[in-house]
Structure 1
Amino acid sequence: MFEVDRSAVSLAPYRSVVSRPGVPGLLLVSLLTRLPIAAAPVVLTLHVVQDLHRGFAAAGLIGAAFAVGGAIGAPLLGRGLDRLGLRPVLVATTLVEGAFWCAAPHLGFPALLAAAFTGGLLAIPIYSLTRQALAAMLPLEQRQAAFSLDSMGVELSFALGPAAGIWLLTATDASTALLTVAVTVVTGGLALLVLDPPVRADAALVAAPGSAPAARVPARAELRWLTAPVLAVLVVTFASTFTVIGTETAITAVLTQTDGVEHLGLVYAIWCLASLVGGFVVGASGRHVPPVLLLLLLAVTALPVALADGWVSLALLVVPTGLFCAPVMSATADVLTRTTPVGVRGLALGFHSSALTVGSAVGAPLTGLVADTADPRLGFVAVGVVGLALAALAAVLGRVGRGERVEAEAGSALESALESALESAPEPVAAGGRAA
């Protein structure tokens, strides 16, 4: 684990970020928009179980349909942000997502299943949109702190959102809770329209050295940015949410088996607090920690959680794992915006959101399968081992990418040298003595 140099941890990076016009409002509106999105899964699950009288498996199908739609839609919406800008994408997604949550209480199960896919496909791309706007509004040196603040906001939304959804369900009913989700999501979309943050960067301000200009990218070149190093970042992104959601599932399974469900909220709170602390420290340090290293630490620290024999030891053992949750999320977004051309940044961050979604969708059921068929504590071992394997894969991809880059740079240097030699060569002289 890292030794933190206290003298290197400063609030200055955060002050510089929040002093930029438009950034505080964007972060606040993003947090408020994410709260109902975080609350929605538990509300929708209980609606399917209690109101439609279906089981949790059916509720899982609804959640899976929404997740699959979101995974497919995120890159498409990201490309829409690149080509059309913010307003057309935000108007369409706000209308569709608002309509879905308004209609959800009145649909039967088959119709709800189809609507969930559509609702996920055209959901407000709040995660990629926020990161794309931050990348457009801030220079390179301020992005790490900005993405750390954004990741801490995500942690807060997932700590507060489900609790708020459960409270609303117990105070009213699922239909009222779903309508509340609709109203708050639409309000968030309208607030983003009012803010109208830029999503197309000023290349002179924020483009990385050597990155492509913010011009429209031809269709045949749209995926040229998908190099081995970028694939490595996407693998880390998938693995991070796989590990985090898998750990969350294993925590629930262990406390359920040991009759400690009443302590579940407290254990989650401690875990989320550790993640906030980790995100804050990494962002304040100004150091760029490689995402693959953060994933490695996340996976390694998940393994000893299997030794927990009660809720107290479980709460203590998940703290080291929590320290790396927010940092790995922010690091992947930071590296992705540094290594992809400005003209396809929305598409790249859309793939980033898809990797987050798919990792979550795969992590929970696989960990649950381990918990059901073996000891729930082995769920921590499973997510740790998978995380380590994916970290190794990402490291190999990164190494391949470095080799390709060195070869490309060598070839470019040779080509430049040949061009210079040809330009400096004496011009041939014609037979009559005049330059040809």
Structure 2
Amino acid sequence: MDVGQYRHVLAIRDTRNALALGLLIRIPMFAGTVLLTLHVVTALGRSYGAAGLVSAAATVAIAISGPWRGRLLDRLGLRRTVAPSLLIQLVCWSIAPWVGYAPLMALAALAGLFVVPTFSILRQVIIRSVPEHQRRTALSLDSAATELSFMAGPALGVWLATTWDTGWALFTVEMAAVLAGCVLWVANPAIKGAPDTTDAADRTDTADATDASGAAAASPGVAPGTSPEPVPGAWRGFITVRVAAVYLAAACTTLVLSGTDVSIVAALRSFEATAAIGWILALWGAGSLVGGLVYGAWHRSFSVFWLLGGLAATTAPVALAVGVPSFAVLVTLSGFLCAPTITATVEQLSRVVPERFRGEMMGWHGSAMTAGSAVGAPLAGFAIDHGGWRWGFLVVSALGVLVAGAGMLGGARGRAAGAAAAASTSAQASPPVADSEPGVPAARVEH
């Protein structure tokens, strides 16, 4: 484990700026999520179920918008994609806090459909700004920053709701989110191309050297070594079986996490310790934060399916808790692989998807995670209703282990098939040793 990797990553200006922008944007975003629920329940006098429907409408809209907004990022760039979103967010959230239930749901859904794709943008900036061997470290820092935002945002939202009228509190945090989006628009960080750490002259020299060696020069907006063309046989130009498997892992990760979230609340209510929900969730987030930082400093990456299996396997023992102290310890341990698993999904996608599709890639990634969350919470709730809070943890854990096991098995078979095909091709294509150039092994003739 090399903690010094973080010093090298933070020395890159674009990475530092992206992490700071992430905190600026995500804290009001998470605060707005909890404030929307509290506003429906308190100011509008509706049930928590009704509040959940508003959140669900916004969530579905965000899931639908992900690939579409990502595709716009690929085609139009940051400013032309973000500017219309900012205008629609400004209009929607200037009206939404002051209207009734049905108009609020419609405005929340419209705002979700045109949400600023901040996660996609900032992760693209981070991926672009660091050398490939530091990508995992940089993405782990982004996951850690997201955990901090998740811990601070809801607390800020609850404090504002108890201090102000919920309408004004909702208006304030959503306008803060719009202002943060404006900062992103003004900063306009590059999301494509070579890292800023390499100047234009160096990039020109590299391209010239590539041309001289007979390789194709990188197209404008496409990083050196990245294919500018769609992947043959891939859906939408980049979604292969391998990519789809990573999306499945991302969806299953948030299924486990959202199911755990619901199960934590149910367990603490069973222990008659409802007041502990806040700090228990904070411990869970802290475990994820530590795990993400450790993974970023680790000397190697791991398969996303191994990490998903570990996440699911460490979630099941929470069902063995017999009181709040043991529950707190087990929940903290179960959070350790949350951030590493999510980081691994982004890292592995960034390595197999051509850069020209990276915006849409991140959009589908966000939609997969949203879909997993949408399934995990009701699945755990159903299990809790029929078997008690322990079954909430066990059901999502079992499903996570099954998906992880299938992914590991499929990956092993794919590697074996690929190795056999490569060996067969090499045996057919390589000339005998006697026919190779004098003094050059036959295995090197192809290169």
* TM-score of Structure 1 vs Structure 2, range by shorter chain: 0.7 to 0.9
1:321-346 alpha-carbon deviations (Å, 9 max, x no partner): 11101111111111110010111011
Residue type at the aligned position of 1:212: S
- Residue 85 of structure 1, aligned match among 77, 82, 85: 77
- TM-superposed CA distance for 1:36, in Å, is 1.3
Query: CA contact under 8 A between 1:277 and 1:323: conserved in structure 2?
Result: yes
- TM-superposed CA distance for 1:289, in Å, is 1.3
- Shift of the 368–183 alpha-carbon distance from structure 1 to 2, 3 Å rule, reads same
Q: Which residue of 1 aligns with 2:123?
A: 131
- TM-superposed CA distance for 1:116, in Å, is 2.1
Answering whether residue 227 of structure 2 is matched by residue 212 of structure 1, we say: yes
Q: Which residue of 2 aligns with 1:434?
A: none
Q: Which moved more, 1:204-213 or 1:378-387?
A: 204-213
Q: Counterparts of 2:353 and 2:147 in 1: how far apart (Å)?
A: 26
Q: Counterparts of 1:68 and 1:406 in 2: how far apart (Å)?
A: 41
Q: Which residue of 1 aligns with 2:375?
A: 362
- Residue 121 of structure 1, aligned match among 113, 121, 129: 113
- TM-superposed CA distance for 1:404, in Å, is 6.6
Q: Which residue of 2 aligns with 1:229?
A: 242
Q: Counterparts of 1:400 and 1:345 in 2: how far apart (Å)?
A: 27
Residue type at the aligned position of 1:328: T
Query: CA contact under 8 A between 2:194 and 2:224: conserved in structure 1?
Result: no
Q: Counterparts of 1:304 and 1:221 in 2: how far apart (Å)?
A: 40
Q: Counterparts of 2:421 and 2:82 in 1: how far apart (Å)?
A: 39
- Shift of the 66–322 alpha-carbon distance from structure 1 to 2, 3 Å rule, reads same
- Shift of the 53–285 alpha-carbon distance from structure 1 to 2, 3 Å rule, reads same
Residue type at the aligned position of 1:71: A
- Residue 279 of structure 2, aligned match among 266, 271, 284: 266
1:17-71 alpha-carbon deviations (Å, 9 max, x no partner): 1111221111111112011111122111111112222211111111111111111
Q: Which residue of 2 aligns with 1:68?
A: 60
- Shift of the 211–396 alpha-carbon distance from structure 1 to 2, 3 Å rule, reads farther
Query: CA contact under 8 A between 2:66 and 2:117: conserved in structure 1?
Result: yes
Q: Percent identity?
A: 39
- TM-superposed CA distance for 1:416, in Å, is 7.2
- Residue 263 of structure 2, aligned match among 250, 262, 272: 250
Q: How does 1:278-427 map to 2 (within 5 A)?
A: 278-399=291-412, 401-402=414-415, 405-406=418-419
Query: CA contact under 8 A between 1:145 and 1:286: conserved in structure 2?
Result: no
TM-score normalized by the length of structure 2: 0.85
Answering whether residue 231 of structure 2 is matched by residue 239 of structure 1, we say: no
3-state SS, counterpart of residue 306 of structure 2: helix
Count of residues in Structure 1 that have an aligned counterpart in Structure 2: 409
3-state SS, counterpart of residue 262 of structure 1: helix
- TM-superposed CA distance for 1:100, in Å, is 2.3
Q: Counterparts of 2:345 and 2:157 in 1: how far apart (Å)?
A: 29
Answering whether residue 98 of structure 2 is matched by residue 106 of structure 1, we say: yes
- TM-superposed CA distance for 1:99, in Å, is 2.5
1:350-392 alpha-carbon deviations (Å, 9 max, x no partner): 1111111111122112212222232112111011011112212
- TM-superposed CA distance for 1:273, in Å, is 1.3
Q: Which residue of 1 aligns with 2:435?
A: none
Q: Counterparts of 1:35 and 1:266 in 2: how far apart (Å)?
A: 18
1:61-118 alpha-carbon deviations (Å, 9 max, x no partner): 1111111111110111111111111111111222222332222112222222222222
- TM-superposed CA distance for 1:319, in Å, is 2.2
Residue type at the aligned position of 2:302: V
- Shift of the 413–129 alpha-carbon distance from structure 1 to 2, 3 Å rule, reads farther
Q: Which residue of 2 aligns with 1:3?
A: none
- Shift of the 119–410 alpha-carbon distance from structure 1 to 2, 3 Å rule, reads farther
Q: Counterparts of 1:65 and 1:181 in 2: how far apart (Å)?
A: 19
Residue type at the aligned position of 1:294: L
TM-score normalized by the length of structure 1: 0.87
Q: Counterparts of 1:226 and 1:405 in 2: how far apart (Å)?
A: 19
Unmatched segments (≥5 aa) in structure 2: 196-202, 207-217, 432-447
- Shift of the 405–85 alpha-carbon distance from structure 1 to 2, 3 Å rule, reads farther
Query: CA contact under 8 A between 1:67 and 1:358: conserved in structure 2?
Result: no
3-state SS, counterpart of residue 124 of structure 1: coil
- Residue 167 of structure 1, aligned match among 156, 159, 180: 159
Q: Counterparts of 1:188 and 1:356 in 2: how far apart (Å)?
A: 24
- Shift of the 319–75 alpha-carbon distance from structure 1 to 2, 3 Å rule, reads same
- TM-superposed CA distance for 1:281, in Å, is 0.8
Q: Counterparts of 1:113 and 1:219 in 2: how far apart (Å)?
A: 42
1:300-330 alpha-carbon deviations (Å, 9 max, x no partner): 0111100112111110111221110111111
3-state SS, counterpart of residue 22 of structure 1: helix
- Residue 201 of structure 1, aligned match among 193, 203, 206: 193
Query: CA contact under 8 A between 2:231 and 2:237: conserved in structure 1?
Result: no
- TM-superposed CA distance for 1:211, in Å, is 3.7
Q: How does 1:180-195 map to 2 (within 5 A)?
A: 180-195=172-187
Residue type at the aligned position of 1:339: V
Residue type at the aligned position of 1:288: S
Answering whether residue 43 of structure 2 is matched by residue 56 of structure 1, we say: no
Q: Counterparts of 2:407 and 2:67 in 1: how far apart (Å)?
A: 21
Residue type at the aligned position of 2:120: S
Q: Counterparts of 1:155 and 1:262 in 2: how far apart (Å)?
A: 21
- TM-superposed CA distance for 1:410, in Å, is 6.7
